[in-house]
Structure 1
Amino acid sequence: MNLNEALERYTAERPRFQRAAEQVRVRLEHLAAENGLSCRVSAREKDPQGYMIKVVTKGYADAWGEVTDKAGARVIFDRPSHVDDFTKIIDEDPELAVIRIEDKREITDPERLAYSGVHIQVAVTADDGASEAIECEVQLRTAAQDIWSILSHKLLYKPIVELPREQQHAIYRLVALIELFDMEVERVMDALPQQPGYEYSEVLREVESDFLRLTESLSFRRLSIYILDSLQGVIPSDDSYVTKVREYVAANEESLRSIYSDYGPHSDMSSSPDYALFGQAESLMLLERLDNDAFALLSAWNAAGLPEEWLRTLASVSDADIAF
């Protein structure tokens, strides 16, 4: 098919590719969430001008069949290992029919270094009843690879002027830095679970968000980790507790706002050491525990040697009936 025929057909069918790209985006986000992988997903259908430029610059003989990224999606990960994990997940997903997988991280030809990452060509069933499936190109990259791809695309693949060979080589040397960056990210991420307080990271993020919303104030993360680490076994660190804290805050939001207004970081009591916990996000967890397991909390608090007055003042605004 020649270029004019391909552009005419693509213009007519573009909404189908737009819907297919969105369908793939939704599925990719679902797969990532289902498997606990943090990422950023975007999708698009190719614009007609980009379509035309690609056919002309690539010298395609078949202006329709050789353009395989009419619909496209991109998934950006922080960790290189998550690119490999997600490649396997997509390959095994029954809703995304994988046509081919190309690992461009293994390409050593300097003329093809512009697109680091993994490209997966998938086909999805059209939503208009048509028998022909729609192909979509899925690109998986790390954040570092994405930066490299954008930079190299501008400077090497679509330069304003042709760069001298010396400058081209300088850009190619960046590949080693990108690879080193990703290796160090992976090493640091592997080490994180060994750090004190890591097991509370999810629930702490949740309460920090709620605390900021309720008080318009940030708390001291180091103190939060110290207290939570001292109370291991009393304050759960699993996902179900994140849900429990979220439900507790939702059910008691009005009273919590009143408590923080009277005793929190912007109140007259904020300078009193005895009320230090009212300026901390973990106070939400402690208030929840005071309501639901006060005696266990008090026992662990005393065993850890934490300041008694901190918990006493917090208990005074709760419904807990405990003696210090």
Structure 2
Amino acid sequence: MKAIKAELIRFMMSYKFALSEISTKIDILKQEFQYIHEYNPFEHVNSRMKTLESIINKAKRKGSDFSLKSIKENIRDIAGVRIICSFVSDIYVISEMLEKQKDIHVIESKDYIQNPKPNGYQSLHLIVQIPVFMSDREEHVCVEIQIRTIAMDFWASLEHKIYYKYNKEIPKTMRDELKEAAITAAQLDAKMEKINQEVNKIKETDTEDELRDLMGNNERLPLPYEIME
């Protein structure tokens, strides 16, 4: 029993360490992006781990046995990270940045933004595998990453609460209203994306005008090496 307990603790710790690795990578990307672009696409970042009870219940639903090997192969969302963005375009920028990390291997990608679930749910889901270096072994651990906008997260959080309040049996009229609310949230995201694009165009124009004013309206903009001189 002592050996089984120790192995179980090590199993759960590997997911905890994987979350730490992913969180560190996200924090580095967030700070670098802010420094270079003077803009932060990350609004909020949350992480969580399934409890042992939740893992066992999911193993039952999937028809999996309870060996650690089987659980690791069949349940790939034991560790999870949720990234909340301001705009839909941010979702794909963040996804691309993560996928370019050499030690992150994307196993599965599900785009529920381009293809929403029937109930209206939208989000981008990535299942990634990341190496975790223990004292005597190297573990390759799966982490689920969900990337969504504030509007998508607001809808999903309320839908989740209603879903469990009604013991997973939501009345049809309420399901229809939730679907309509999801469409409204998507329309809001689209409108805010358009406004953001217009703001960016104005900023680019203003920057170019400021540079021309500095150099004189009739002069061309200097090349980088000319500025250095």
Question: Above 0.5 in TM-score?
Answer: yes
**1:117 alignment partner, one of 123, 126, 129:** 123
Residues 47 and 199 of structure 1, relative CA distance in 2, 3 Å threshold: farther
**1:66 alignment partner, one of 67, 74, 78:** 74
Q: CA deviation at 1:24?
A: 0.4
Q: Provide the residue aligned with 1:142 in structure 2.
A: 149
Q: CA deviation at 1:109?
A: 4.4
- Work out whether 1:186 is the aligned partner of 2:189: no
Q: Provide the residue aligned with 1:152 in structure 2.
A: 159
Q: CA deviation at 1:15?
A: 1.8
Q: Provide the residue aligned with 2:89 in structure 1.
A: 81
Residues 109 and 189 of structure 1, relative CA distance in 2, 3 Å threshold: closer
1:1-324 to structure 2, matched below 5 A, reads 10-36=8-34, 37-39=40-42, 40-56=44-60, 59-62=61-64, 64=71, 65-110=73-118, 113-114=120-121, 116-128=122-134, 129-156=136-163, 158-161=164-167, 162-193=169-200, 233=214
Q: Which segments of 5 or more consecutive residues in structure 2 lack a partner in the other structure? A: 35-39, 215-229
Runs of 4+ that moved beyond 4 A: 6-12
TM-score (norm 2): 0.73
Bigger RCO (CA 8 Å, 6+ sep): 2
TM-score (norm 1): 0.53
- CA–CA separation in structure 1 for the residues paired with 2:51 and 2:206: 45
User: Residues 131-158 of structure 1, C-alpha deviation per residue, up to 9 Å, x if partnerless?
Assistant: 33011111111111111111122223x3
Given residue 183 of structure 2, which amino acid in structure 1 is its aligned partner?
Answer: A
Contact 1:32-1:86 within 8 A present in 2 as well: no
Residues 199 and 77 of structure 1, relative CA distance in 2, 3 Å threshold: farther
Q: Which has the higher helix share?
A: 1
Q: CA deviation at 1:7?
A: 10
What CA RMSD, in Å, does the superposition of the two structures yield over aligned residues? 2.9
Q: Which segments of 5 or more consecutive residues in structure 1 lack a partner in the other structure? A: 1-5, 201-228, 234-324
| Matched residue count | 194
Q: Which has the higher strand share?
A: 2
